[in-house]
Structure 1
Amino acid sequence: MIVQKPKKLMFHLRLVIALSTGLLFSACSAESANEIGQYSTKSVHKNEGKDFKSVYATANQGDPQAQFQLGVMYEDGESVSEDKVEALKWYKKAAEQGLADAQNKMGVKYFYSEDVERNYGKAIKWFRKAADQGHPEAQFHLGEYYTNIEGSPIDYNQAIKWYRKSAEQGFYPAEFNLAALYYKGIDTEPNYSEAFKWYKKVADKGHAPAQFQVAIMYYDGLGVEQDYGKAFELFQTLEHEGYPSAQHNLGVMYEKGEGVEQDYKIAAQWYQKAADQGYSLSQNDLGSLYYSGRGVKEDYDKAFDLYTKAAAQGEALAQFNLGEMYYYGDSVSQDYNKAYEWYIKAATQGNQMAQERINKLKNEGKITR
């Protein structure tokens, strides 16, 4: 006798709580390094407008700022043929005279293996010299060294110390990482009020990952009074920039009626926007709406298709839901073996419901594995 499926909801409704793969802002990508380098660039332009000959002459007289500017000109090929070796020579001359911008630049060179062999020891030596003079980028890099760099000594107290020094000067990558450390509570209990304070500073500068974290903290009431309305507004801001995670969360809020009037149809529209970008959580949750016929016409075939797309990306809830469809024979022929295969995939990722189904299949003798 075929077991009849009770009318129920498939499993979904999970708010996305992080916009990026990791909380910490890392300078290791080219894009991030360019953003961080804007601080040094501002200092470089002190000599903007001077021709090469005059800068060269002043540098040869031992002026460290001119030496640094000459290094920039050689590195960028500005008014002279590009020459990385000459650039490094002049940066070093300026750094040895104690110019913080040049010391930081030397640190960056060794940190990222730019025109020299990577050497973290030399990088940290130069960063410390610049950081001790209050250079916020160098302070940031020291914080990063103690948290993010493979092979470096992990020391979160040192990381917080240097990130805070940099953050207090308004250097937003340091503000973001300081917030992340307080939020995660690495080596300590989370300090959500401090995390919110620093995330909010970065968010107010238009930084999308920080805006997302602030929205989550408003949603959960972490470090700030719970406010669905403010969370919703921030998710909307991010949605306008095309973030599928924000679109997904708007869908969740409409589906649950949090901060807005519950509306399954609008929820489905938001899930669809994110699903169209390949966002697996939204593919799963939209599939569940099609499965249950809420906000859209009930359609097991569409539900199955959406679950399949999400499951292919490793989404455990979708893998479990595919197992359910095979278990009950929805849109597909009832197949306990295929159901078992999908339950195994979900259970491997820690899905307890899938493990319970596996035990049930075995106890009822529906599979022999």
Structure 2
Amino acid sequence: MKRIALNFLAVVFFAWSGPASATPPAGLDEALSRAGMLEEGDPREVIAVLAPYAGTDHPDVAFQLAMAHMRLAIEGVEPADIATAAIQPALEHAQRAAALGSPHVWSLLWMIHANGWGVPADDEVAIGYLVRGVDAGETGAQLNYSLRLYYGTDGVARDVDRACALFRQLARDQQARPHISHAMGVATTLGECGEPADMARGIAMIQEAADIGEPAAEYDMGRAHEYGWAGPIDMGAALDWYQKAAAQGEARAQWRIGIAWVRGEERAQDGAQAVLWFAQSAASGWPDGMVSLAVMYATGDGVAQDSARAATLYRQAADLGNAHALRSLAGMHVNGEGMPVDPVRARELYREAIEMGAQEVPALRNLIESELRRLDASPPADSRGSSDG
């Protein structure tokens, strides 16, 4: 089984399930078995083992060769640097596997096109492959598609009913169940999937996913302990779960660990440590991470004060729809922090922030209005004095 990160959702791939040919050539079963054992190792060894059977009309041979060539093309390479020529052998073997009826190959083609590995990233094309895997009854495709249906992402419209139908089917599969337990747990806490809300049962499902290292589930277990959803509030347990999720790159958890350093929760306060975690969260694209990092730069807490850097981070967060960031930018404009004083622009930003849902800050609103009145009362910048003589 392969697990590959794609956006914020787990991508689970259930690989080769055994030979399908009724009369395989001599040695083919052994070669496929050895290729399966080498699956986590050097893909070149898999290619060498299966190369003598590459012309065999056996879907698992073509599929395993496609997988090995894909790994050879992508492992240790930045996505933007994956060459078309490098991924081409994987695509050729994948097309052969599809023609031979491999149900697994659709997930492989989905991954390549969704991630843009050596080809233009295309959600529509990728999801088309994933749906073909669902129609073929491939468990990995059903799992990944059900998650996208539930959350509504990567070009898939949210459809809870269809997602829940797949969840119920997948829950009977012992290999698949842990990977849908997080979404099923969230649905159970909310009373979705045609069942009444059950917080305790939902949290137990979320923990099932967290126990196998699902970062989003680990983050939610942190929230469960922080807010008392799993029993008495336990900040020590909450932060342990947040730390596990943060270590796997969960941006929300990275931000929350930064907050723990700012507040001194279960540790001494340390602005420099907070900056490190906020920076990771911001780099992962989480707006709250950008805002908190901006605050650290604006105040010089844990890092050299840099108003210009703070303004840039606020703008990045604002562009992602963060109302707090817009309100903070308004404050910087009216105070001239890292930029000329501009109460007119401050008023525009403040109004936009409130319309987006930010809370009113009377002191900031009054300061902006005061600066506007002062500006209206000032003489034009190009006015000239005159005399009667």
Match of 1:356 in 2: 327
Q: Gaps (5+ residues) in structure 2?
A: 36-44, 73-86, 114-118, 341-389
Match of 1:178 in 2: 145
Instruction: Describe how 1:38-57 pairs up with structure 2 within 5 A.
Output: 39-41=17-19, 43=20
- Give the letter aligned to residue 236 of structure 1: Q
Question: Which digits, 9 at most, give the CA deviation of each residue in 1:244-282, with x for residues without a partner?
Answer: 543321121222333534444543443345456675433
Does the 8 Å CA contact 2:185/2:203 hold for their aligned counterparts?
Answer: yes
* 84, 94, 103: which one aligns with 1:139: 103
Please report how far the alpha carbon of residue 214 of structure 1 lies from its aligned counterpart in structure 2 after TM superposition.
Answer: 2.3
Match of 1:61 in 2: none
Match of 1:71 in 2: 28
> CA, structure 1 residues 324+141, in 2 after alignment: closer, same or farther (shift >3 Å)?
same
Does the 8 Å CA contact 1:104/1:127 hold for their aligned counterparts?
Answer: no
Does the 8 Å CA contact 1:229/1:259 hold for their aligned counterparts?
Answer: yes
Match of 1:302 in 2: 270
Question: Secondary structure of the equivalent of 1:139?
Answer: coil
Does the 8 Å CA contact 2:47/2:68 hold for their aligned counterparts?
Answer: no
Match of 2:174 in 1: 205
Counterparts of 1:152 and 1:318 in 2: how far apart (Å)?
A: 27
Counterparts of 1:351 and 1:233 in 2: how far apart (Å)?
A: 32
> CA, structure 1 residues 201+361, in 2 after alignment: closer, same or farther (shift >3 Å)?
same
Question: Secondary structure of the equivalent of 1:197?
Answer: helix
Which range moves more in the overlay, 113-122 or 199-208? Answer: 113-122
Please report how far the alpha carbon of residue 107 of structure 1 lies from its aligned counterpart in structure 2 after TM superposition.
Answer: 5.3
Match of 1:36 in 2: 15
Relative contact order (alpha carbons < 8 A, sep ≥ 6): 1 or 2 greater? 1
Is 2:62 the partner of 1:106? yes
CA RMSD of aligned residues (A): 4.5
Work out the percentage of aligned pairs sharing the same amino acid.
Answer: 16
Does the 8 Å CA contact 1:254/1:266 hold for their aligned counterparts?
Answer: yes
* 229, 236, 247: which one aligns with 2:218: 247
> CA, structure 1 residues 228+90, in 2 after alignment: closer, same or farther (shift >3 Å)?
same
Please report how far the alpha carbon of residue 354 of structure 1 lies from its aligned counterpart in structure 2 after TM superposition.
Answer: 1.6
Counterparts of 2:88 and 2:146 in 1: how far apart (Å)?
A: 32
Counterparts of 2:46 and 2:207 in 1: how far apart (Å)?
A: 47
> CA, structure 1 residues 228+118, in 2 after alignment: closer, same or farther (shift >3 Å)?
same
Is 2:194 the partner of 1:216? no
Question: Which digits, 9 at most, give the CA deviation of each residue in 1:270-296, with x for residues without a partner?
Answer: 334545667543342244355456x65
- Give the letter aligned to residue 132 of structure 2: W
Counterparts of 1:180 and 1:273 in 2: how far apart (Å)?
A: 22
- Give the letter aligned to residue 224 of structure 2: M
TM-score (norm 2): 0.58
Question: Secondary structure of the equivalent of 1:368?
Answer: coil
Question: Which digits, 9 at most, give the CA deviation of each residue in 1:56-113, with x for residues without a partner?
Answer: xxxxxxxx6141x433446759xxxx997996565635x2xxxxxx144235546764
TM-score (norm 1): 0.61
Does the 8 Å CA contact 1:110/1:118 hold for their aligned counterparts?
Answer: yes
- Give the letter aligned to residue 361 of structure 1: M
Please report how far the alpha carbon of residue 353 of structure 1 lies from its aligned counterpart in structure 2 after TM superposition.
Answer: 1.6
Please report how far the alpha carbon of residue 200 of structure 1 lies from its aligned counterpart in structure 2 after TM superposition.
Answer: 4.6
- Give the letter aligned to residue 106 of structure 1: A
> CA, structure 1 residues 347+307, in 2 after alignment: closer, same or farther (shift >3 Å)?
farther
Is 2:256 the partner of 1:285? yes
> CA, structure 1 residues 36+304, in 2 after alignment: closer, same or farther (shift >3 Å)?
same
> CA, structure 1 residues 277+71, in 2 after alignment: closer, same or farther (shift >3 Å)?
closer
Match of 2:76 in 1: none
Does the 8 Å CA contact 2:146/2:163 hold for their aligned counterparts?
Answer: yes
* 314, 324, 346: which one aligns with 1:343: 314
Question: Which digits, 9 at most, give the CA deviation of each residue in 1:290-320, with x for residues without a partner?
Answer: 5456x657x6x33552243232452432331
- Give the letter aligned to residue 308 of structure 1: L
> CA, structure 1 residues 88+363, in 2 after alignment: closer, same or farther (shift >3 Å)?
same
